[in-house]
Copies of this chain bind each other. A is one copy, B any other.
Amino acid sequence: MKKILLLGAGRSAASLIRYLLTHAAANGWHLTIGDVAVEHLQQTVAGLPYAEVLVFDVHNRAQRAAEVSKADLVISMLPAVFHPEVAKECVKQGKHLLTASYVTPVLRELHEEALQKNLLLLMESGLDPGIDHMSAMAVLQQLRGKGARLLSFKSYTGGLVAPESDNNPWHYKFTWNPRNVVLAGQSTSKYIQDGTYKYIPYPQLFRRTETIQVKGYGAFEGYANRDSLSYREPYGLTEIPTMLRGTLRRPGYCAAWDALVQLGMTDDSYQLENSENLTCRQFTEAFLPPASGDLQQVQQRVGAYLNLPIGSDVLQKLEWLGLFTDAPVALARATPAQVLEKILQKKWRLESGDKDMIVMQHQFVYELNGKKRELKSSLVVKGEDEVHTAMAKTVGLPVGILAKLLLQGRISQRGVVIPIHPAIYEPVLEELKQYGVNFVEQEREW
């Protein structure tokens, strides 16, 4: 009997839980699911001898230690901020850990101790980071095997709404943490292009997009992630002249989001005065120069301020959000970003029956036998419904599969590891195909 402790049973854990429960009996697992709220899981585990739920408070040190001590493997789907404490507990007690979150400097410091204790802390094992690493490394290995020299690698991922559920002018709905969407890109974005380091400050980020075509799904626009440089080394691409990692949205999103950025609505650094008494229109007005002349309507004033014609797509998107209405903000001591998040949550909610869609595309340019070629590797995954979303599936399934491989003793790496080793990613990518997580490759001369 192998004991798995899963911490965190939020939205993105639905598919992971289903995977673990499906494979538990055959593999001899016992699964304990801990979260602050577990009522929604009581029925799922009812009558299953190999599963239980547990009200778990990550801040409760004694409980944390006690539960970790009983486990053979800890999987954490908690917010990333809790991972240093969880990881330290695992290392202390000699337990393997599996997460979908980034390796931060604090976590990297545990590498030596984990190695000494023969432990695996396998991080960045969800979608992005996760499937992006695995699928990119698989292509890179194939190209290297042929003797190709890599000239450019660009990789984009987006969590979007599926076309059949897309009924808003932003062509976007929330499928993960809304706060992260609102705050995205606030640090300067860094990448390298033709051997030149490039830096995009926040006020330019949503203007410097590239158009990405995905066969059968049309056009997307990509904006650069904060750090496209740090994966050059783990990917073995330290000499590559061009490398960019980005986020995908539907065309038009970025121009409209840029308007919110330029207004100052994504600012999370200060609290608005009197935010609880503002209407949405007053919230918008707070960012505008004082009214003058005949420009009295807030929509006209936003247009004049940001140089957007009345009737333009951008102004229509802002209007659709309700930013020019007298609806109350009703949020006390709020930052602009918190007010905006509240407004967006009403408008961008995944409704019952809605399907989301994950889109990922890697673009490689390489030289082989004196010829330049481009290879695109694209993934599209649609959700089943608003619970078993494509996001939950693509984040949770690789974690579930890796848990299985780890408990079956098929992963020999130790220390703080990300899934860039063939022995790790090959079986994951293979099994993911059964779930419709399948990359399509297109190649052409460049």
Binding site for B on A (CB under 8 A): 187-188, 190, 193-194, 196-204, 208, 229, 261-264, 267, 269-270, 272-274, 282, 285-290, 336
Contact = CB atoms under 8 A, between A and B. Distances in A.
A290 B193 contact: yes
A198 B286 contact: yes
A264 B200 contact: yes
Contacts of A188: 264, 267, 269-270
Contacts of A208: 289
A166 to B, nearest CB: 29
Given A289-B208, A290-B194, A269 B199 contact: no
Number of copies: 2
A186 to B, nearest CB: 10
Contacts of A336: 199
B199 A286 contact: yes
12 contacts: A188-B264, A188-B269, A190-B273, A193-B290, A196-B282, A197-B272, A198-B290, A199-B272, A201-B262, A201-B264, A203-B203, A208-B289
A270 B198 CA distance: 13
A22 to B, nearest CB: 45
Given A197-B286, A198-B287, A200-B287, 13 more contacts: A193-B290, A194-B290, A196-B282, A196-B286, A196-B290, A197-B272, A197-B274, A198-B290, A199-B272, A199-B336, A201-B267, A203-B203, A203-B261
A262 B204 contact: yes
Nearest to A193: B290
Contacts of A273: 190, 197, 229
A204 B288 CA distance: 10
A287 B196 contact: no
B203 A269 contact: no
A269 B198 contact: no
Contacts of A264: 188, 199-201, 204
Given A187-B270, A269-B188, A201 B290 contact: no
A270 B204 contact: no
B201 A287 contact: yes
A292 to B, nearest CB: 11
B290 A199 contact: no
A368 to B, nearest CB: 24
Contacts of A263: 201
A109 B201 CA distance: 37
A269 B194 contact: no
A274 B199 CA distance: 13
A190 B199 CA distance: 28
A274 B229 CA distance: 13
A354 B244 CA distance: 48
Task: Name the residue in A261, A274, A290 with the highest tally of chain B Cβ atoms < 10 Å from its Cβ.
Answer: A290
Contacts of A274: 197
A196 B285 contact: yes
Contacts of A282: 196
A239 to B, nearest CB: 14
Contacts of A198: 286-290
A314 B204 CA distance: 18
A315 to B, nearest CB: 18
A339 B263 CA distance: 28
Contacts of A261: 203
A405 to B, nearest CB: 37
A268 to B, nearest CB: 10
Nearest to A226: B270
A295 to B, nearest CB: 15
A200 B208 CA distance: 23
A265 to B, nearest CB: 9
Contacts of A288: 198
A70 to B, nearest CB: 43
A299 to B, nearest CB: 17
A202 B263 CA distance: 10
Contacts of A190: 270, 273
Contacts of A202: 203
A276 to B, nearest CB: 13
A437 to B, nearest CB: 33
